[in-house]
Structure 1
Amino acid sequence: MTAAEARRDELPVVETEVLVVGAGPTGLMAAVVLGRAGVPAVVIDHKAGPTRESRALAVQARTMEIYDQLGLSAQVIADAFDATTMQIGDAPSGRLDISTAQVGDTAFPGVRIFEQSRNERLLYGTLTEAGSDVLWEHRLVDLVDRTDDADGRISALVEGPDGLLRIVARWCIGADGASSSVRRQLDLRFEGVTDDATFWVADLRDVRGVPESSMALTFGARTFAVAFPLGPNGHTRLISLAPHDAVTQEQAMASAHDDLGLTVGTVEWFSTYRVHHRVASAFRVRSVFLAGDAAHVHSPVGGQGMNTGLQDAHNLALLLADVCHGRVTEAALDRYARERRPVALHLVHVTDRAFGVIGRRNPLIALFRKRLSAIMAVVAPRLLSTALGARLTGLLGQYRIRYAFNADGGGTPAWADNPTVGRRLPPADDNGADVRSLTWQLHTYGAGTVPRPDVPEWVEGPIAHRADPRGRLRSNRMYLIRPDEFVAAAIPLRHDGPDPAAVRAALAAHDVRAENLL
């Protein structure tokens, strides 16, 4: 042992199951879910407390479903400002009713404007009410992963107001933002590009020229902007292509007036940035994971970033809980990157392509934007009323994400040959109330009384529901639901009950421990 290692071993030690680095929305969501699932966690953050700036704004439908599972959706609804429509250009025909297109597919259609600071306060309050807290003003200095050794652990050197300490954990979640120190400790690449054009963002009062309670895309001769309603009386977030680099607040407001035709009152917050489209080269290295902006960053215009991070945390925390409680093997941890990294890659590629076309300061591109907006104002409302429109708004709401099942060998097993497998459980017969227990469950829909198959005791059910009127959940199947509300399997029902071989195969494919396979 070196002298440095000896001094390190003499430091105060905090032991836990999971170290969460970063107390933004992603890190706080991970901590809340881990706590609900009975897994000890320690959260550190270099900041002095929760974020005060609004930053990210939109809470999409899938995130609302997660908040509902945690019993927090009513608080979001009470404090959020609803944005159910999107206005494209100036023509009345350009109003898109997102909420209507999502009705029936989610219990929370539309978009809630619930700023990052409010998400953090909600999650931090939930965490402290449960008796936990965050080690504020604590900075990660070093991270050593010895979990490949027998009884090995992760050892983190952390610097706080009272000096250095060690945190020893079984796993670590890096949720510490785009400049992640955890990602740097892992020496992972942050692959992607940064757009050349500069954008500005501002929270404004008394804005005139955009709809009062709708999101809006507005186009000028040189630039364009996306408007998000923050509240009544013109309280608005504007994100706009800057007329030139190094734009000042005064120049940005002049551009909003002269090019976009907007009247602006008080400026509450202003910043400039360049759009990054980047994904970490890996989401997991041994017992260390990346989530949220530490793992992926992209344009904020679609209101997807914070939601994707919150869903990363939800997925990962429940997976770690299953491993911690001995339900599934360590091999199941590969599932996190297999499921969540493709989501991030798809989102980054879509926004990268879109901004590669429209996010430029070029007269021809500006003319193209104007003409495209006129076409979309006519076409988009019609498209929204079709099945394709429902799929597109489902992707916007992030409840149409599908995790691919990787079967060993060729072909799809009978229990995976169903459109619901890999998707979050469609709402039917108040089944959202069932999943609030954060447990594995068996559901049937319109099948009557079905005998319980040989499954581990920690799998609840079968819970009998009425038939799904939309036919998404079939009466000839028994559905295995994961704690994160995703459908793990659709087991064929025979005359004497669920197919035993399909049950065993589905559980084995999800890495359920052999001793739990009856």
Structure 2
Amino acid sequence: MTRTEDAAPLETEVLVVGAGPTGLMAALVLARRGVRALVIDSKEGPTRESRALVVHARSMEIYDQLGLTQQVLDGAVPGTGIQIRGDRREFGAIHEKSGATEAEPGSTRRASRINIDQAQEGWTPFPGVQIFEQSRNEELLARTLATEGHPVLWQHGLESLVSDADSPDAGVEAVVTGPDGPLRIRARWCIGADGAGSAVRHQLSLPFEGVTDDATFCVADVHGVTGLPENLLVAQFGNEKFAILFPLGPGGHKRLIWLHGEEHPDQETALTEARTDLGIDYDSVDWFSAYRVHHRIASTFHQGAVFLAGDAAHVHSPLGGQGMNTGLQDAHHLAHLLADVLSGHRSESALARYELERRPVALTLIEWTDQAFGMIARPGRGTAFLRRRARDVMAVLAPRLLSTRLGPYVGGLLGQYRIRYHAVPKGEQPPRWAADPAVGLRLPPTRENAEGLRAMSWQLHTYGTDADRPVAVPDWVEGPFAFSPDPWGRLRRDRLYLVRPDGFVAASFPLHAGAAAVHEVREALQAHDVVG
């Protein structure tokens, strides 16, 4: 059927522009919460290139809430830690023997191993990282959406978007173009998840503030790399360059990421220099790309009825593999928030929490990766000399640090499950219901609470005690559920916890004779814009 601009618009509750991991995650969470969402993308289907690689622990917890964890694990290569290496001229041919990393006889240096999984053990059900490429994330999420009756509208690109910032209740109206001509779509909200060049952000004329680095970032998928462990990420230090290698599968299949320099190189030149300086041998190349690195953030993540998420809202260096994970968590947060408002559980004013909670996460990530980019990855002899000195210190101190009490904290930052949403601005005295260290963090996992979190509902929890249900709590809040004591002591026996659908602890109420103070409960509900 031929479409015309005069035809009646297609109606949906949320229009998601962009079918990358961020947009697909938002649509799937919305669908599971009973919200009609339509995803459009100008591509013909899911991305075929691997692009982003790493799925961190917190993102695995989100996949677990969606019941997709096993499918990720079945297709992923596990990464348990990071090996810190110099090139072969310094370390010799390093190999794995009986689980320990050694140097060849005659070498005086050893490769150092940082065990991420051990630092995260007990704090997340999914310690370490999973190497599960962006293409596989997209394919899994798109397939799940289609199976559940919410297929992506592929080959449909955004042409125009009308949204009144002063009247968000008016919703949005979009015109998209597809194989059958123009199509109008009307929605209550729009999520721009269409990447760094976001058409949604441009339609809103929102600044994308930051810098573009003058160095060129190179990425290659190679086969036949020898002398490297199968299930470790490798930080490789050369005379002038620095690279990170990610395991992609058997046969020495690796993702190689390094900085080339100021010139935009061709594949042969870049790989020849990487081979020479970094001492990395390989047999064949599947894919190569070179691009400039951006460190940018949108001036706002929310304008009227439109929200930005993922790369449309913030971009940064791929060092640390945080980008795709941050986008997945943007989407998870925002989708639950929109579903809460649409269901009448929270007021419209709660939508401001998306920017208040997620933009500081992006700012911190950009600042951290920008500093790491300058100190670790930049080419040049002067920087390389300082980098090698820092490497020697890091090779000794990092494993020791992760074995101390700071290890779980550092592991939580790397896994992104230590992100905290502050109940009050920093520096202000928190109310009693927010004074517990667990408030603002995602609920620490125990053997018993995982199944409850899969319900995607507001809940009351206790750990090691029973509690009365506060009269001020709306009837759609489930619980209280009484769980066994937390063996790690992160959740207190004398508290009643209010948990959001995204798994974050909204409040912790002191208990007296099994009851929480009514005024504290009402104060916490009001602070979270909960509707009684």
Q: CA RMSD in A?
A: 1.8
- Partners of 1:357 and 1:22 lie apart in 2 by 33
Distance in 1 (CA, whole Å) between partners of 2:146 and 2:242 is 42
**SS of residue in 2 equivalent to 1:239:** strand
2: CA distance, partners of 1:503 / 1:139: 46
Deviation at 1:134, TM superposition (A): 0.9
2:127 pairs, out of 80, 84, 109, with: 109
- Post-superposition offset of 1:356: 2.2
Shift of 1:93: 5.0
Corresponding residue of 2:51: 55
Aligned equivalent of 1:336, options 332, 354, 357: 354
Cross-structure match for 1:268: 286
Corresponding residue to 2:516 among 498, 503, 518: 498
- Does the residue aligned with 1:437 lie in a helix, a strand or coil? coil
8 Å CA contact 1:407, 1:413 repeated in 2: no
- State the AA in 2 paired with 1:458: W
Q: Give SS of 2:72's match.
A: helix
Residue 198 of structure 2 is aligned with which of 151, 170, 180? 180
Residue 211 (structure 1) shift: 2.5
Uncovered stretches (5+) of structure 1, i.e. residues with no partner: 1-6
What do residues 317-352 of structure 1 show as CA deviations (whole Å, max 9, x unaligned)?
000000001111000000000000000000000111
Cα distance, 1:146 vs structure 2: 3.9
2:85 counterpart (79, 85, 89): 89
**Aligned partners of 1:58, 1:150: CA distance in 2, in Å?**
36
Partner of 1:507: 525
Task: Determine the C-alpha separation between the residues in 2 that align with 1:58 and 1:29.
Answer: 16
Secondary structure class of the residue paired with 1:16 = strand
1:401 matched to 2:419: yes
Note the alpha carbon deviations across 1:28-82, whole angstroms, 9 max, x for none.
Answer: 0000000000000111001011111100000000000000001001111111100
Alpha-carbon distance, 1:406 to partner:
2.2
Aligned pairs (5 A) from 1:177-256: 177-242=195-260, 245-256=263-274
SS for the counterpart of 1:267 is strand
Aligned to 1:471: 489
- Which residue of structure 1 lines up, in the alignment, with residue 441 of structure 2? 423
Equivalent residues in 2 for 1:272-291, closer than 5 Å: 272-291=290-309
Q: Which residue of 2 aligns with 1:79?
A: 75
Cα distance change on mapping 1:278 and 1:407 into 2, 3 Å: closer
Which letter does structure 1 place at the counterpart of 2:358? R
2:151 counterpart of 1:133: yes
Q: Are 1:174 and 1:183, in contact at CA under 8 Å, matched by a contact in 2?
A: yes
Give the TM-score normalised by structure 2. Answer: 0.93
> Over residues 93-135 of structure 1, what are the superposed CA-to-partner deviations in whole Å (9 max), with x where a residue is unaligned?
5111100110011010000000001000110111011111111
Q: Does structure 1 residue 39 correspond to structure 2 residue 35? A: yes
Structure 2 unmatched runs, 5+: 87-108
How many residue pairs were aligned? 508
Query: Cα gap change, 1:75/1:96 in structure 2, threshold over 3 Å: closer, same or farther?
Result: same
- Distance, in Å, in 2 between the alignment partners of 1:260 and 1:126 is 41
Quote how far apart the aligned CAs of 1:409 are.
11
Query: Which moved further from structure 2: 408-417 or 295-304?
Result: 408-417
Cα separation, partners in 2 of 1:150 and 1:315, compared to 1, 3 Å = closer
TM-score (norm 1): 0.95
User: Which of these residues, 13, 16, 19, is aligned with residue 23 of structure 1?
Assistant: 19
Matched-pair contact (CA < 8 Å) for 1:197–1:359: no
| Contact kept in structure 1, 2:470 and 2:521, CA below 8 Å | no
Is the partner of 1:259 in helix, strand or coil?
Answer: helix
Cα 1:373–1:422 shift into 2, 3 Å: same
Q: Which amino acid aligns with 1:24?
A: G
Q: Could you tell me how far 1:362 is from its partner in structure 2?
A: 2.1
Secondary structure (helix, strand or coil) at the match of 2:30 reads helix
Displacement, 1:404?
1.0
One-letter amino acid matched to 2:458 = W
Does 186-195 or 437-446 show the bigger shift?
186-195
> Could you tell me which amino acid in structure 2 is paired with residue 303 of structure 1?
G
d(CA) in 2 for partners of 1:374, 1:332: 48
Q: Does the CA contact (< 8 Å) of 1:209 and 1:262 recur in 2?
A: no
Point out the more displaced range, 471-480 or 152-161.
Answer: 152-161
SS in 2 for 1:242: strand
Picking from 158, 162, 180, the partner of 1:144 is 162
- Rounded to whole Å, the distance in 1 between the matches of 2:334 and 2:45 is 24
Distance in 1 (alpha carbons) for counterparts of 2:468 and 2:447: 17
Task: Give the counterpart letter for 1:355 in structure 2.
Answer: F
Question: Higher mean Cα deviation, 387-396 or 230-239?
Answer: 387-396
Q: Secondary structure at the match of 1:462?
A: strand
User: 2: distance between equivalents of 1:329 and 1:278?
Assistant: 31
- Alpha-carbon separation, structure 1, partners of 2:269 and 2:368: 30
Q: More displaced, 400-409 or 173-182? A: 400-409
Tell me which residue corresponds to 2:62.
Answer: 66
1:78 is matched by which residue type in structure 2? D
Counterpart amino acid of 2:61? E
Q: Distance in 1 between matches of 2:490 and 2:427?
A: 28
- Taking the aligned partners of 1:92 and 1:366, their CA distance within structure 2 comes to 19
CA distance in 1, matches of 2:497, 2:514: 16
